[in-house]
Structure 1
Amino acid sequence: LLAVQLRSACFQKCDPYIPICEKGLERALVKEGTSEPGHCCDQFECRRPELRCENVHCDDGGELEEECPPDSVSGASYVPEGRCCPIYPGHHQIMERGHISKSWADFKLGS
């Protein structure tokens, strides 16, 4: 957690590698970038949501926007595996409100 907080939320060089997902897909973090040259950008892919999150309400992160220097952009939000709401790198965690649908819970429990 501390390492994530220490990483800057403003990256310009990585912006071209952040996919814009089609409706019905969500951006998922595949691999975190490192400080190693050539591997500094996080890697994302667009995936179908694993959970049924219809009854979960997520904040859009708009109130979290931080001012970046003119030559930078904010880090990409993404939905972690097993969650419904995106996280915003460099910001406090957004809480999910609501519940996961019963049919998903039944599926996971093998009912």
Structure 2
Amino acid sequence: MPTFETFLDQMKAAGVQILNEGALTTMARQVSDWPAVVADVAVRGRKQGIIFERVTADVPTDDGLETILSDFSFTPQEARAVIDNTFPMGAIAGVKV
């Protein structure tokens, strides 16, 4: 299985910034099913300051994210959770990291 670090590298190269990446990394490294952790954090991680942001409203596109996620062991539901919770930069106001 491709590694979590490879996943992070691909997301960054595509134009996704992850706020509080260190907290996500700590959580993902504690389990073998890290895609499930990433999906859960994409949905619920804002309380911990973990936010997935696109560099602009449409970069990367949903299709671009789907292509990246398909290279890893995300279920269709997990992939959708990540895509739906990757916001345009600055869209989530008031989060302190």
TM-score, normalised with respect to structure 2: 0.28
Which structure has the greater CA radius of gyration?
Answer: 1
Higher-helix-fraction structure: 2
Which has the bigger relative contact order, CA under 8 A and spacing at least 6? Answer: 2
TM-score, normalised with respect to structure 1: 0.26
